[in-house]
Amino acid sequence: MTRPEPRSAAYAAGPPTLADVAELAHVSRQTVSNALNNPDLLRPDTLERVQAAIAALGYTPNRAARNLRTRASHLIGMRFTPAQEGTANATMDRFVHSLVEASREAGYHVLLFAGHGGDALEGYDDLLRSTAVDAFVVTDTYLGNPQATWLEERGAPFVAFGRPWDQPEATHPWVDVDGAAGARMATEHLLAAGHERVAWIGWRKDSTIGEDRRSGWSGAMRDAGLPTTGLASRVEDTVASGAQAAAVLLDEARPSGFVCASDTLAMGVLHALGERGLAPGRDVAVVGFDDSQVAQVIPGGLTSVRQPLEQVAVEIVTALSGLLSHPPAPGPNTLLAPTLALRGTA
Amino acid sequence: MTRPEPRSAAYAAGPPTLADVAELAHVSRQTVSNALNNPDLLRPDTLERVQAAIAALGYTPNRAARNLRTRASHLIGMRFTPAQEGTANATMDRFVHSLVEASREAGYHVLLFAGHGGDALEGYDDLLRSTAVDAFVVTDTYLGNPQATWLEERGAPFVAFGRPWDQPEATHPWVDVDGAAGARMATEHLLAAGHERVAWIGWRKDSTIGEDRRSGWSGAMRDAGLPTTGLASRVEDTVASGAQAAAVLLDEARPSGFVCASDTLAMGVLHALGERGLAPGRDVAVVGFDDSQVAQVIPGGLTSVRQPLEQVAVEIVTALSGLLSHPPAPGPNTLLAPTLALRGTA
DNA sequence: GTGAAAGCGCTAACAA
DNA sequence: TTGTTAGCGCTTTCAC
């Protein structure tokens, strides 16, 4: 004890420390620490006295000191990429909030960092080497990016939102949403409503996640004994591309319904329908993907596949907790089923 | 120096420490520290040798240790509230990313926390007392919430996104967007296009921010010598409310244009127009507020007032840096002008 | 310009 | 059950 006089809350030059609590409760610093971390070790009356002192001073352990000692920050790092302008993609907002909430319940906070221009890895490297975070949540695995591999090589704990499509040798934990099941659900919904010519507008072939969703559509069509030839289009994820693809399909294949890989593409379809005076939902059915705000607020609403992001976040934090426990207890990877948000277009 | 043998990067049991670098460069630990924090103090050749060692080991200072010593975390805390489902409000996503980016340039990271159910203050209190963050960014001042006052009482450094409308005695730094100027800009745009009966659909009167925006509309109308009687409506921020308000106004006041306090309300107007077979932009002009994804992707696009969130973030971080420097240098509060994103509806 | 010593606030190991 | 000792990795005096 080097500090000459203890600081009361009223005269605090800074937040109270363990020593202040100890002095007030007439115990040693270690006993206060135990009261916090191993309350079972204390005699009930001592514990009570210490807790009273803690409450009286409004004491909360200093994070930096605790982090230094325990070699843990209780921080989860995540690279935050904003929704692209001009698209309807908006899963991030919902996911981040879910992650923050789920992390809190597990005693963690979420630290955001940006991809430093070209080098996405730099942010990870910095945080890792400075031991600023305990683990990462990697969200953009679908880009075929090297982050997962890179982190795995370094033995950095992380959980991916998204399966390691391109890395069959990957062994890291992941949580994902079954996109194929989502597209199948959407397609079967249209088939059940009597549609027979259901078209697909998806992403370019190099998008594994897009191909996965597409397989849900083609599988459902095949299972129903319906042809798919000429009914599919692979384009960029923009409204204009969706509109253009829809126009071509309407001319050449006369579909009565569209299932799309994204709400952005679905908006393109609505655009194309509008230009032909066709009413979405009545003349032609449309289903999007992601249940974005756009799907929710456009007149009539856009039927869309909704990812259970809250559940994804919970599973990710569970996996993370397992990973960070001693000894590490990697849980099973989980594949969650999406739901279909029914609205006016289907 | 208690560690028996230095750890090379190859045999690292953990990340290298200052001592490892010192040993490799044949200098003392303090010299390495100086090389990092006060390079001017070193002789060029020593500096070079130390830097080589740092690079060789891939050394990055341990955050927890540095934080403990310097009593700073280089973390900025922010309460993250997700966009409400069923609305078009989506400023958070863009703002958070801008903040992360601006913070990075100033050497900070962003730590997110959730409002613990009812008690929004709890999250702030925890982080503050555990000295987990250096400062806060407070975004939801418009709710008339007590956070700003609460933080100010405790002398906690923070910058608000939003003026302290309800607290005239507040002296904390803030950055805001001039909502009145935005609504005025939108209104004047319609007036310049020949509209004379421009209606306003805004929020309830207890929303100061809503009243501010409304004043931009009414001011522009007054300046143009036009009447506003019967041309305004105050409703809840939902699509349904917007649609209902638009329907009433169309029946009773025959406006040729609408300016709305949000894109959500503007979508309601589009809804109402659609039901009457009126074409947005051609028959009736509509302007929203926030330039959400919805505004960007609906067929034809929704003209909307766009907040300069990137700039807001930069100003906030600037203010924060001033606040956290020694001695604190509070900058001037800044009020930024929005722009008008012109699209099909106006 | 460089090195030695001290200590930030906490917790792990051990002693009493 | 409680207290003592040591030290996490870093930076800040202060000698040299």
Q: Where are the domains of chain B?
A: 9-61, 75-176+309-335, 179-306
For residue A122, count other CB atoms closer than 10 A to its CB.
14
Looking at domain B179-306, its CATH superfamily turns out to be Response regulator (3.40.50.2300)
- The CATH code belonging to domain A75-176+309-335 is 3.40.50.2300
Phi then psi dihedrals of residue A336, to 5 deg: -100, 150
Q: Which chain A residue shows the shortest CA-CA distance from B76?
A: A111
Q: Say yes or no for a CB contact (<8 Å) between A96 and B112.
A: yes
A70-81 pLDDT, tens digit per residue, is 999 999 999 998
Interface with chain B: mutation pick from A63, A91, A150, A282, highest number of B CBs within 10 Å: A63
User: Residue range A301-313: average pLDDT?
Assistant: 97
Distance CA A200, CA A230 (A): 10
Q: Say yes or no for a CB contact (<8 Å) between A297 and B81.
A: no
Find and give the residue nearest to C11, measured CA to C1': A69
B203 CA to centre of own chain: 21
Nucleotide nearest to A59 (CA to C1'): C9
Print burial letters for A50-72: b (CB count within 10 Å at least 16), e (below 16): bbebbeebebbbbbbbbbbeeeb
Higher pLDDT, B169 or A55: A55
User: Residue range A284-299: average pLDDT?
Assistant: 96
Distance from CA of A76 to the nearest CA of B (A): 9
Distance from CA of A17 to the nearest CA of B (A): 10
User: Residue range A16-26: average pLDDT?
Assistant: 90
Cβ of B294 less than 7 A from strand D: no
User: Residue range A160-185: average pLDDT?
Assistant: 92
User: In this structure, which topology does domain A9-61 adopt according to CATH?
Assistant: 434 Repressor (Amino-terminal Domain) (1.10.260)
Record the tokens describing residue A11, joined without a space: 């005269």
What's the one-letter identity of residue A235?
A: V
Chain B hits for A89, Cβ within 8 Å? 293
Distance CA A143, CA A145 (A): 5
For residue A198, count other CB atoms closer than 10 A to its CB.
27
* Residue tagged 């979405």 (tokens): A280
pLDDT of B116: 61
Q: Which residues of chain B have pLDDT under 70?
A: 1-13, 116-118, 141-144
User: Alpha helix locations (H) across chain A?
Assistant: 18-25, 29-37, 44-57, 63-70, 91-105, 120-129, 147-153, 179-192, 208-223, 239-252, 263-275, 293-297, 309-324
Kindly tell me if the per-residue pLDDT of A165 is higher than 90.
no
Band (pLDDT 50/70/90 cuts) for residue A2 is very low
Q: Are A156 and A171 in contact (CB under 8 A)?
A: no
Q: Are B341 and B306 in contact (CB under 8 A)?
A: yes
For residue B324, count other CB atoms closer than 10 A to its CB.
17
pLDDT of A228: 96
Q: Say yes or no for a CB contact (<8 Å) between B114 and A94.
A: no
**Of residues A80, A94, A239, nearest to B297 (C-beta):** A239
Chain A hits for B239, Cβ within 8 Å? 297
pLDDT of A144: 62
pTM: 0.92
Distance from CA of B240 to the nearest CA of A (A): 9
Kindly tell me if the per-residue pLDDT of A6 is higher than 80.
no
For residue A321, count other CB atoms closer than 10 A to its CB.
18
Distance CA B343, CA B325 (A): 43
Record the tokens describing residue A54, joined without a space: 């803690």
pLDDT of B282: 94
Kindly tell me if the per-residue pLDDT of A117 is higher than 70.
no
Band (pLDDT 50/70/90 cuts) for residue A13 is low
Same topology for domains A75-176+309-335 and A179-306, yes or no?
yes
Band (pLDDT 50/70/90 cuts) for residue A15 is confident
User: CA at A257, C1' at C6: how many angstroms apart?
Assistant: 75
Query: What is the signed CA dihedral for B78, B84, B90, B96, rounded to 10 degrees?
Result: 10
Record the tokens describing residue A325, joined without a space: 């426990």
Three-class secondary structure of residue B106 per DSSP: coil
**Of the candidate ranges A184-198, A223-237, A317-331, B282-296, the one whose mean pLDDT is the lowest:** A317-331
